[in-house]
Chains A and B, each alone.
Chain A
């Protein structure tokens, strides 16, 4: 396919309802982490990639999206074969030749590519359905392409549509609702019990990686009062480094801290329960009527299951958290159809914009031709009229031409596009616009 445009940044002429687009990518479904991490691009690397892609003769516009789960390049090609080769080589094979194996990369064209980008921004393609970070990553990729000058009218507008779809999906549906990770499941449980995490006193028993991850989620959502009871000095030091305001306790001090705690996270590797029903019961008797949320993340369990029978003690294990996460994921899956409706709406808006874009050159030619005819005809008759009226005649004929062309121009802007290609061709033929050339 060869470019028919004098300016390679002009969108290719209409040959379908969608602009020519090419998307090449790999994600968590088709390549392992070892390959994905090799084609993950930091900002400066992504900028360089975009510059190199633009240097290719087949690429008019480019956008690169790189996250931990996917790397994709979206191109508006002036030569599809050339653009494909450039994307393949520059973005993927130079860094990971193994991606050439069948099934490691996917290629999407035109309408499929458009829909895919919108679905990605909406979280439909994410490993965790509806995860929120991808929207920010798409926004960042669009800003990067803009900064490098790689985004032209089509990709700029497409990125805007993708961001609008992603934002609407999160606002208008429950695609991003409910916790779907262990840490946020704990946060969600706490938020269903306490009126806020800010005043919630958290006691962590064990300071390993899981405890740190949960503490991270809790502090992100406002928890400030952390106490940590841990056996090993090294893990305690690591925890303190990450959470300097946390109060470090010896492992034995956990019982003394229990009556004051609102939320207990137990995540030790102990073989025996580190908290028994009697110990929790004793702590509850020293508290006011405050509820206590105990989350047992240990395997084997760190807290005696019988403790869950104590009044106002809410004991949750990994099983119940899994149950909660699965419930939330199901609710998200139930929303996919509604998100797809949003994608359809945003794609329709994009296509309407693109149709208008396609009609513009034709309208410009039509106006130019009309103006030329007006001048020619005016010059022929102008000498027959007094000079004082020339200006008035000029204004009159201009107004006539403008008014005659106004309605057809509006209709062409609104209706240009693949479905209306015969109509555009008819206009071209009726007004002999192809013969006009640039003259």
Chain B
């Protein structure tokens, strides 16, 4: 029963996120969002319901496989998608701001779709997947990645609005998004949170890998993760030193996401040695 449901979730979850994204899109592109009454009312409950379903699926996978459900790229992507959705639900609830919903839920849909496409019937079962320390390491890494995805989402919106305001072009984005200062704050907040979490993941990973794997530092996955970490560290440092303004930080955030995606997809599938599970 549970395996069937988990299999169905691979189709159901991206579909549900797609529908929710369309709903938020109808609100975003309406001339006056409050006038899209039904879509306006349905969007938040629909998203919350989908997130609950997603959490239930992850819990179901953990129970079924008796391990932390991040043993494959597909599972990791699903956790990231869920974490981004949870972050957005919190942001919406806290800030009563729904105008970024379409873009954030679209990101969630993208990650969940990728997860479903890459899904394999049986995840590998290794001893380390049952180690609680592994769960901490992976949780920190995925939390960091989710935060970077959120940051990149806000960075994208920031750049659109920045371009409109700078050039006096006033495209679809103008007047529909939160102010530039708010988008920048959200982007930076997520960036800092992601950086702290990724640092934690790198430290715990290094501590652990030192005990188990020889030559771990040369693994392409580790190398790319450290490059990504350095990229974010550099961006935050330059920002701190007031060398970079919002636009450069936003571009760095997008570059960071590209690096993460490359690290996940290309490195995991073609280059990695010991770190091929994630």
**Partner-B contacts on A (CB < 8 A):** 171-174, 177-178, 188-189, 191-195, 288-289, 291, 308, 311-312, 314, 316, 319-320, 323-324, 327, 331, 334-335
Which of B16-24, B31-39, B44-52, B84-92 is the contact stretch? B31-39
Interface positions of B from 225 to 266, Cβ below 8 Å from A: 239, 242, 244-248
Give chain A residues whose Cβ lies under 8 Å from the Cβ of B182: 195
- Minimum CB–CB distance from A83 to chain B (whole Å) comes to 40
- Minimum CB–CB distance from B217 to chain A (whole Å) comes to 35
CA distance A172 to B40 in the complex (A): 13
**Partner-A contacts on B (CB < 8 A):** 31-32, 34-35, 161, 165-166, 168, 170, 174-175, 177-182, 185, 239, 242, 244-248
Q: Which residue of chain B is the closest to A293 with respect to CB atoms? A: B165
Give chain B residues whose Cβ lies under 8 Å from the Cβ of A324: 168, 170
Give chain B residues whose Cβ lies under 8 Å from the Cβ of A311: 245, 247-248
- Minimum CB–CB distance from A263 to chain B (whole Å) comes to 12
Give chain A residues whose Cβ lies under 8 Å from the Cβ of B239: 289
- Minimum CB–CB distance from A175 to chain B (whole Å) comes to 9
Tell whether A194 pairs with B247 under 8 Å between CB atoms, given A314-B165, A331-B31: no
Indicate if the CB atoms of B166 and A191 lie closer than 8 Å: no
Give chain B residues whose Cβ lies under 8 Å from the Cβ of A312: 245-247
Q: Which of B168, B182, B185, B244 has the most CB of A within 10 A?
A: B168
CA distance A284 to B233 in the complex (A): 24
Indicate if the CB atoms of A291 and B32 lie closer than 8 Å: no
Tell whether A291 pairs with B181 under 8 Å between CB atoms, given A188-B175, A311-B247: yes
Give chain B residues whose Cβ lies under 8 Å from the Cβ of A171: 34-35
Q: Which of A173, A188, A193, A288 has the most CB of B within 10 A?
A: A193
CA distance A173 to B34 in the complex (A): 9
**Cross-chain contact of B179 among A195, A289, A331 (Cβ < 8 A):** A195
Q: Which residue of chain A is the closest to B248 with respect to CB atoms? A: A311
Indicate if the CB atoms of A173 and B179 lie closer than 8 Å: no
CA distance A15 to B180 in the complex (A): 60
Q: Identify 15 new A-B residue pairs, CB closer than 8 A, beyond the known A188-B175, A192-B174, A193-B165.
A: A171-B34, A171-B35, A172-B32, A173-B31, A173-B35, A177-B31, A192-B175, A192-B177, A195-B182, A291-B246, A319-B168, A320-B168, A323-B168, A324-B168, A334-B31
Indicate if the CB atoms of B180 and A173 lie closer than 8 Å: no
Give chain A residues whose Cβ lies under 8 Å from the Cβ of B175: 178, 188, 192
Indicate if the CB atoms of B31 and A193 lie closer than 8 Å: no
In the A-B complex, the 7 residue pairs with the closest CB atoms: A320-B168, A174-B32, A174-B31, A312-B245, A195-B181, A193-B180, A314-B165
Tell whether A327 pairs with B168 under 8 Å between CB atoms, given A173-B31, A312-B247: no
Give chain B residues whose Cβ lies under 8 Å from the Cβ of A194: 179-181
Q: Which residue of chain B is the closest to A322 with respect to CB atoms? A: B168
**Cross-chain contact of A177 among B32, B185, B242, B244 (Cβ < 8 A):** B32
- Minimum CB–CB distance from A123 to chain B (whole Å) comes to 14
**Cross-chain contact of B246 among A191, A289, A331, A334 (Cβ < 8 A):** A289
Q: Which residue of chain B is the closest to A191 with respect to CB atoms? A: B179
Give chain B residues whose Cβ lies under 8 Å from the Cβ of A195: 178-179, 181-182, 185
Give chain B residues whose Cβ lies under 8 Å from the Cβ of A193: 165, 179-181
CA distance A288 to B244 in the complex (A): 10
Indicate if the CB atoms of B170 and A323 lie closer than 8 Å: yes
Indicate if the CB atoms of A192 and B34 lie closer than 8 Å: no
15 residue pairs bridging A and B, Cβ less than 8 Å apart: A171-B34, A172-B35, A178-B175, A189-B165, A193-B180, A194-B180, A194-B181, A195-B178, A195-B181, A289-B239, A291-B246, A312-B245, A312-B246, A314-B165, A334-B31
Give chain B residues whose Cβ lies under 8 Å from the Cβ of A319: 168
Give chain B residues whose Cβ lies under 8 Å from the Cβ of A188: 175
CA distance A91 to B48 in the complex (A): 61
Give chain A residues whose Cβ lies under 8 Å from the Cβ of B170: 323-324, 327
CA distance A132 to B181 in the complex (A): 29
Give chain A residues whose Cβ lies under 8 Å from the Cβ of B247: 311-312
Give chain A residues whose Cβ lies under 8 Å from the Cβ of B181: 193-195, 291
Give chain B residues whose Cβ lies under 8 Å from the Cβ of A189: 165
CA distance A199 to B185 in the complex (A): 16
Q: Which residue of chain B is the closest to A332 with respect to CB atoms? A: B31
Q: Which residue of chain B is the closest to A193 with respect to CB atoms? A: B180
CA distance A189 to B178 in the complex (A): 12
